[in-house]
Chains A and B, each alone.
Chain A
Amino acid sequence: MDSCNCIEPQWPPDDLLMKYQYISDFFIALAYFSIPLELIYFVKKSAVFPYRWVLVQFGAFIVLCGATHLINLWTSTMHSRTVAMVMTTAKVFTAAVSCITALLLVHIIPDLLSVKTREMFLKNKAAELDREMGLIRTQEETGRHVRMLTHEIRSTLDRHTILKTTLVELGRTLALEECALWMPTRAGLELQLSYTLRQQNPVGYTVPIHLPVINQVFSSSHAVKISPNCPVASIHPSGKYTPGEVVAVRVPLLHLSDFQINDWPELSTKRYALMVLMLPLDSARQWRVHELELVEVVADQVAVALSHAAILEESMRARDLLMEQNVALDMARREAETAIRARNDFLAVMNHEMRTPMHAIIALSSLLQETELTPEQRLMVETILKSSNLLSTLINDVLDLSRLEDGSLQLDLGTFNLYAVFKEVLNLIKPIVSVKKLHVSLNLAPDLPEYAVGDEKRLMQTILNVVGNAVKFSKDGSISITAFVAKAELLRDSQTSEFFPVPGDNHFYLRVQVKDSGIGVSPQDIPKLFTKFAQTQSTATRNSGGTGLGLAICKRFVNLMEGHIWIESEGLGKGCTAIFMVKLGIPERLNEPELAFMPKVPPNHGPTAFPGLKVLVMDENGVSRKVTKGLLVHLGCDVTMVSSSEECLRVVSNEHKVVFMDACVPGMDGYEIAVRIHEKFTKRHERPIIVALTGNTDKVTKENCMRVGMDGVILKPVSLDKMRSVLSDLLEHRVLFEAI
């Protein structure tokens, strides 16, 4: 034997077991070497792998294991010591790496496992999201269906189309077997089958409204599942098939009066219709939540659409009614107009036709009265005259009244003398008064304006009528007529509660009271006095005659003059007072009866309008004198100032064209100066124009000034424009009396 350092294996190399070990080791090594390669290959392929270090370790571990097994191949036969050394080294390394790897795996395996759990979690989440997506999609579909349905339903205003469309569309969307609508009858005690999907003309099935199942549906705003066996659901013969699930929902029928502007009507309305929906027969389909919601929404929409349709129907009906009424009113108006025209024509004709013969009768009778007549004849003629006068008055009254009622009477406004009117009335009644031996007194208030603006003729007619009545109904005694301007306090009369005259700047209210001590009027007859043709029935009035129209006409006139007339009496035999108030205008400029009306001269606007006009100013008050001088100087006059009347008389000469004097000058009376000036200058053209400046606004001052021969009176304070116009008036007319 050689002395080699070989190690003899225990077993002989040619044993079968050895051969199998040999082959196994070889394949193990192969496998161990290929696993890392595979790992590396696949890891390189994958995008991310966080555990490279682990990989390296693992690879090393595997490679070394493989190496170990590979070297085992040599140790089955006789092998040198080197191989044994290598084998040992390899085994040592393998051991080391294996231990390290084992230690490291403790850390890594939990991580890897948790990755797995996270993956599982994410998968679950994804599944959930998928489910939710599914739900949302279905909801969206439902919404789309609702919108479409609503659009279909609301696109028409015809009730039948609305309901029919609803049923059809619902049937289509939800794939229903049958769909029906039950409407309440007029009496509200039953539900009647009105519309169905499949059957064309449902023939009056009715169901009493107070069934428990119906009450249940009506009391809830949701769609309610009902049993297919209940009467409302037996709308479709199901035959041998099992009927599908049935759902019922209430449809509120809203009345017009339920629509308030600011809030949605509470569903306190009691009327509902019932909508019943049936799923297809023999299907396992169930009513799903979103389908129920769809049905509820549709029911609401139908309610709204129906109410719109109802409103439309209502408004069409109202419009038709109005049109009919319009036509009827139009015709009535035309008829009324024709009637009025006919009456007016008649009156116009009668007016003329009746007056002519009347006139002839009256004229000839009065002429006859003037001739020689026997007493009986005279009596007869007088009666004829009296009767025809009466008739004439009646005709006039009737014509006037009809015109007044038409509203076609208009006042003839003009400026007239108020005092003269009263005097005229007195003159007219004087004959009767003297015959009846009545005493008449007229009392005109001092503040009553002399001139007024109004309808003189009709005012006189009214006063005459009232006074005439007083005279007529008085056998003896006295009649007093008072006239004054109505003041504000006196206007709060109980009689005039609805009449509130407001005195103003350019008008005043004339109040006339006519008091008599005649037969009087009983209080219950007072309202009748002013009605046409009504007369108190006492015999006294019968004898006095009269048409009963007089007061009615007076009342119309007074109303036209925006006034009020009434009668007060304490009773029969106690006399009576007739009072009326009318609105009269105040004329713009009071016309002085002595002076002619002066045209307004446009004022000169130049500053020196009166160049060099010599003027004398007499005023004791220094300030006032200076101001007047300033005014006149500004207007270009040549002003001399004096402060006393003696000085004035001394200085005044025929060069002075105007003398302005303050009217209240102590010492010598201002008026005296005027007289003295008149004496001094006898010839008119030499005498200066004398004008008084006064702060007094009463008539007395003015009258005094006029009396002493002053040519003008002006009110202080005098403005520049006023002085200018005053001077131009004076120089043109030589006279100026300012209206006070």
Chain B
Amino acid sequence: MEVGQMQRRLVDYTKTLFMEGFLDAQFLQLQQLQDESNPDFVVEVVSLFFDDSEKLLNDLSMALDQPNVDFKKVDAHVHQLKGSSSSIGAQRVKNACIAFRNFCEEQNIDATLRCLQQVKHEYYLVKNKLETLLRLEQQIVAAGGSIPTIEMGF
């Protein structure tokens, strides 16, 4: 596939991610920060997000598995996850975290477990999408093209 086609595919894919609410404008900001002095910025941030989130989700699972659930700790973890996801622009993960925190305040175990599942689900979805996106970008760069900037209407 030649570079132009790959670029168009990347643009379309990115646009669908925005339309479906997986990413928001923050992600665009990140892309803007990537330049010659910082060519792998987005990849680095995304990888960091993946590592961070995996660890947090594990911690959350363990914390909610305890017989006496320490909601303060759970809340702290969710707060972290919310922070990371909003920094990267993972909108659906962030929204799930917000809901999670509300239930944490109520100290509702069943609801929080459900929320955890929801957050995990959203996280894996967005992880999948981001990996696809980054792979597309790598292909373009490997073929000698440059990554197109996305103009969003909102």
B20 is an interface residue with CB less than 8 A from chain A: no
Q: Which B residue's beta carbon lies closest to that of A664? A: B79
A717 with B33, Cβ < 8 A, contacts A626-B44, A630-B41 known: no
A621 is an interface residue with CB less than 8 A from chain B: yes
Are B48's CB and A626's CB within 8 A? yes
A397 is an interface residue with CB less than 8 A from chain B: no
Task: Sample 12 A-B pairs with CB under 8 A, ordered by A number.
Answer: A621-B83, A623-B48, A624-B87, A626-B44, A626-B48, A630-B30, A630-B41, A631-B29, A633-B38, A634-B38, A666-B76, A720-B33
Task: State in angstroms the CA–CA spacing of A404 and B30 once bound together.
Answer: 57
Q: Chain B contacts of A631 at CB under 8 A? A: 29, 33
Are A627's CB and B76's CB within 8 A? no
Are A624's CB and B84's CB within 8 A? yes
At the interface, is chain B mostly helix, strand, loop or mixed? helix
A147 is an interface residue with CB less than 8 A from chain B: no
Q: Measured between C-beta atoms, what is the minimum distance from A391 to chain B in Å?
A: 62
Within 8 A of A (CB), among B77-127: 79-80, 82-89
Are B87's CB and A621's CB within 8 A? yes
Are A627's CB and B35's CB within 8 A? no
Are A624's CB and B83's CB within 8 A? yes
A716 is an interface residue with CB less than 8 A from chain B: yes
B14 is an interface residue with CB less than 8 A from chain A: no
A620 is an interface residue with CB less than 8 A from chain B: yes
B18 is an interface residue with CB less than 8 A from chain A: no
Are B84's CB and A623's CB within 8 A? yes
Q: Mark B28-41, 1 if CB is under 8 A from A, else 0.
A: 01101101011001
Q: Measured between C-beta atoms, what is the minimum distance from B13 to chain A in Å?
A: 22
A695 is an interface residue with CB less than 8 A from chain B: yes
Q: Which B residue's beta carbon lies closest to that of A632? A: B33
Q: Chain B contacts of A634 at CB under 8 A? A: 32-33, 35, 38
Q: Which A residue's beta carbon lies closest to that of B53? A: A623
Are A626's CB and B33's CB within 8 A? no
Q: Measured between C-beta atoms, what is the minimum distance from A214 to chain B in Å?
A: 80
Are B32's CB and A720's CB within 8 A? yes
Q: Mark A711-737, 1 if CB is under 8 A from B, else 0.
A: 000001101100000000000000000
Q: Which B residue's beta carbon lies closest to that of A623? A: B84
Are A623's CB and B25's CB within 8 A? no
Q: Chain A contacts of B48 at CB under 8 A? A: 622-623, 626
Are A627's CB and B25's CB within 8 A? no
Are A719's CB and B52's CB within 8 A? no
Q: Chain A contacts of B32 at CB under 8 A? A: 634, 720
Q: Chain B contacts of A717 at CB under 8 A? A: 26, 29, 86-87, 89
Q: Which A residue's beta carbon lies closest to that of B45? A: A626
A630 with B83, Cβ < 8 A, contacts A623-B48, A717-B26 known: no
Given A622-B84, A634-B35, 10 additional A-B pairs, CB 8 A: A621-B80, A623-B52, A623-B83, A624-B83, A624-B84, A626-B44, A695-B82, A695-B86, A717-B26, A717-B86
Q: Which A residue's beta carbon lies closest to that of B76? A: A666
Are A630's CB and B84's CB within 8 A? no
Task: State in angstroms the CA–CA spacing of A717 and B49 once bound together.
Answer: 16
Are B45's CB and A630's CB within 8 A? yes
Q: Which A residue's beta carbon lies closest to that of B32? A: A720
Are A623's CB and B87's CB within 8 A? yes
Within 8 A of B (CB), among A368-410: none
Within 8 A of A (CB), among B14-66: 25-26, 29-30, 32-33, 35, 37-38, 41, 44-45, 48-49, 52
Q: Chain B contacts of A624 at CB under 8 A? A: 83-84, 86-87
Q: Measured between C-beta atoms, what is the minimum distance from B28 to chain A in Å?
A: 9
Are A623's CB and B49's CB within 8 A? yes
Q: Which A residue's beta carbon lies closest to that of B84? A: A623
Q: 9 tightest A-B contacts by CB?
A: A623-B84, A624-B87, A621-B83, A627-B87, A630-B33, A634-B33, A623-B49, A624-B83, A623-B87
